[in-house]
Amino acid sequence: MTCPAGSETEKFIPDFLTVKVTPQRAGPRDHCIVTLVEVKRNDEVSESQAVQQALSYLERAWQQPSHDEELRGYLVMGRLVHPIRMSNRGRAVSDPPFDMFAAGDRFTRELCECAVRNWN
């Protein structure tokens, strides 16, 4: 069963969660969260509500036993991407948003840097 866009309520996981899975010689595979992406329509919720939701997702992911030490999240809302990171005080913070279609394609570059950092 699928939900129409924007119809989720009481959802506690982001839209996209990238997890690196590494086989182990003895025991189960290692799962490491490397990035998360939350997507919102402009008319779905206010920008501040969407940012707060994305911040809480990143803080929950940070509490998991295995995550990238440079774990970042991204809130995509219309053309804007709000990069989210953990501060040195252990709280998620949102950096200034950027236009995903601006010259330089920052969004793709940052996702590629994450992929390279986590490549086997």
- pLDDT tens, residue by residue, 5-49: 455 555 678 999 999 988 888 878 888 899 999 999 888 899 999
Q: Give the percent of the chain with pLDDT over 90.
A: 55
Query: What residue spans define the domains of the chain?
Result: 30-117
Highest mean predicted confidence (pLDDT) among 4-13, 27-36, 51-60, 63-72:
51-60
What is the value of pTM for the model shown? 0.83
Asked whether 93 and 84 are in contact (CB, 8 A), the reply is: yes
Contacts of 45 (CB under 8 A, 6+ apart): 53
Determine the pLDDT at residue 7.
Answer: 52
Provide φ and ψ at 74, rounded to 5°: -140, 130
- Give the strand pairing for 67-77 and 80-86: antiparallel
d(CA 64, CA 96): 26
